[in-house]
Amino acid sequence: MSKETLKKKILEAQKSADIASLYILEQEVHELFDEETLHGYYANILDLALEKLTDTLESHRVMDMSDVQDFATLRALYEYAMEHYSVGKASDAAALFEVLGGLSRDEKFSNAMKLHQRAASENLSLDDFLEKIADLPATEKAGTFYVSYFTKKAQELLDNNKSKEG
């Protein structure tokens, strides 16, 4: 695909707020565009996702993972939360994970976000979270866009939280 054709497809997807299509074009964007353009591309995805988040909250609905746009929106917001986590903004990440946990009707996703939120709230570094709490091989095998499988230490993290609350 030429750069011009790709730009047209991106513009069409942006105009229709089609986050899923933007993710489909992601590989080609990586191959054809420079780092600065890539940054703008992802910023645009995030802007659309934040807009969809606002619309979802205002309409008092939950997102459905089987809806392609909801799925893509949750992915974009999850990546945003993980970005905050990776740069040491654990409290911001924890707040985003908490919102994400309540945003989807998918129980597995919501439960995973609770673990993410707990780890970030405990100021556990992202590296420690990925090494000690996340089960990355199982997550990779499952093919989810989010960390969806966890080690036994994850239950300890939740149990510690319950004992603090109780």
Reported as a single tens digit per residue, the pLDDT across 2-20 is: 889 999 999 999 999 999 9
Whether residues 91 and 153 share a domain: the answer is yes
Reported as a single tens digit per residue, the pLDDT across 97-116 is: 999 999 999 999 999 999 99
Whether residues 74 and 54 share a domain: the answer is no
3-class SS letters over the chain: CCHHHHHHHHHHHHHCCCHHHHHHCHHHHHHHCCHHHHHHHHHHHHHHHHHHHHHHHHCCCCECCCCHHHHHHHHHHHHHHHHHHHCCCHHHHHHHHHHHHHHECCHHHHHHHHHHHHHHHCCCCHHHHHHHHECHHHHHHHCCCCCCCECHHHHHHHHHHHHHHC
In sequence order, what are the residues at sequence separation of 6 or more whose Cβ sits closer than 8 angstroms to the Cβ of residue 1? 9, 28, 32
Whether residues 10 and 50 share a domain: the answer is yes
Q: Tell me the residue range of the domain where 56 lies.
A: 1-61
Residue 1 confidence class, pLDDT cut points 50, 70, 90:
confident
Whether residues 33 and 83 share a domain: the answer is no
Whether residues 29 and 91 share a domain: the answer is no
